Amino acid sequence: MIIKLIIVVVLFAVTLGIAAYLTLMERKVAAWMQDRIGPDRAGPFGLLQPLADGGKMFFKEDFRPTNADKWLFIIGPGIAMFTSLITGAVIPWGPDLQLFGETISLQVADVNIGILFIMGAVSIGVYGIMIGGWASNNKFALFGAIRASSQMISYELAMGVSVITIVMMTGSLSMRDIVDQQHGFWQDGWFSWNVFKQPICFVVFLITALAECNRAPFDLPECESELIGGYHTEYGAMKLGFFLFAEYVNMFISCAVISALFFGGYNFPGMDYFSGNTLAILGTLVFFAKTFFFIFVFMWIRWTLPRFRYDQLMHIGWKKMIPIALINLLITGVVIAYTEGWFSKDKSNESASNAKIEQPLGVNTSPEKTKTGNSL
């Protein structure tokens, strides 16, 4: 119990710390891509910049517009922050750690519906933006909130379908199971990571994750140039800070989910040579390295691509992403059914193939088949 509490506190602190330093990383990456240096005045290499920004946020006037709904105006950023922080609970950060004769699971809660929990928490996250934007009583904030909700709903569908594809292959909704099934790097004659089994699914998930995080090129809810900040136009001080912070926490969590679902989480090539605590620590480091790589990719995309138009956003979401994800789901289902022997006319043949595979129902054991299924 106490160990769980410690893990919760450590996860909370680490998530907040990483989110704070992601703001610095974003500014640095942006600067380098634009041939600039970036913030370098606060401390060596500007390392104290997040502290300075946070301090500034705390000491600014906590302003509230006269016509804003008082309580909803305060609750909005709170919901955004809360939902972005609870998603980290089900992510397996590393293999089990052996400490003081006890096995410590580097995961706050191994719920058997982990990925469903993340999807649910992310959907609640849009309430923070909606309530905040609506309570501001400002037309730009309302525009931003409306765009945010419609964008979230549109892209959640494609995201959900691509997650279902992975769940079908794994046969489990638990994050720990999904990661464990991608053990090592090479298994049964094919790469074990899901990205090599489901590349289309990965691309769909990456794009929808960008949209869910409100990152460029899908940053319509808060586009500075059209909506002067969108849903947080009327916010200032730490309430604005909460919105911005929640966004970076979201980005961190979704990058962690991407690396867990598609890039093997804490699995790495040659992990069988290690065991025990060495494996646990190395695995955690590998997981964070993968996560940070994807965070860099997110920033890289932001500083490369311009923003989509609103109709283009809807066009991509409903007419491109969802059909692609659905067709991918269909093909995966057919391939799984084929490997399970559903198409064989002979009943005895079916049971024979089932016995040969020796895997629970719904688990795709033939990666080569899946690959051909994707290239269809």
The footprint of another protein (CB under 8 A) covers 29, 31-37, 300-301, 303-305
Give the nearer residue to another protein in terms of CB position, either 34 or 348. Answer: 34
115 and 175 in contact (C-beta within 8 Å)? yes
CB of 214 vs another protein, minimal distance in Å: 19
Q: How far is the CB of 196 from another protein (least distance, A)?
A: 18
**Residue 41 or 345 having the CB closest to another protein:** 41
Tell me which H or E stretch contains 170.
helix 139-170
Closer to another protein by CB, 6 or 305: give it: 305
Nearer to another protein, 12 or 292 (CB): 292
Write out the two tokens for 154.
């549109």
Q: Which two tokens stand for residue 359?
A: 């895997």
Decide whether 170 or 198 has the Cβ nearer to another protein.
198
- Token pair recorded at residue 238: 């730490």
In Å, how far are 107, 206, 209, 249 from 306, measured between CA atoms? 37, 17, 17, 23
Distance of closest approach, residue 301 Cβ to another protein, in angstroms: 7
Least Cα distance to 134 among 245, 34, 234 occurs for: 234
CB 10 within 8 A of CB 88: no
Outline where DSSP puts E strands in 122-196: 186-187, 190-191
Nearer to another protein, 296 or 338 (CB): 296
CA–CA separation, 210 vs 217, rounded Å? 8
CA angle 246, 252, 254 (to 5 degrees): 100
Q: Which two tokens stand for residue 109?
A: 């809660």
What minimum distance in Å lies between the beta carbon of 15 and another protein? Answer: 27
Among 187, 226, 209, smallest CA distance to 307 is for: 226
For residue 224, the minimal CB distance to another protein (Å) is 19
Nearer Cβ to another protein (132/217): 217
Nearest to 338 by CA among 330, 262, 375: 330
| Closest to another protein by CB, 277 or 374 | 374
Do residues 92 and 260 lie in contact, with contact meaning Cβ atoms separated by under 8 Å? yes
* Least gap, CB of 216 to another protein (angstroms): 12
Q: Write 116-119 long-range contacts (CB < 8 A, 24+).
A: 116/173, 117/87, 117/89, 117/90, 118/87, 118/90, 118/91, 118/175, 118/253, 118/257, 119/156, 119/159, 119/160, 119/163
Contact predicate 116/124, CB 8 Å: no
297 or 357: CB nearest another protein: 297
Give me the least distance between CB of 367 and another protein, in Å please: 24
Q: How far is the CB of 40 from another protein (least distance, A)?
A: 8
112/304 with CB nearer another protein: 304
Smallest distance, another protein to C-beta of residue 151, A: 19
Min CB(326)–another protein separation in Å? 18
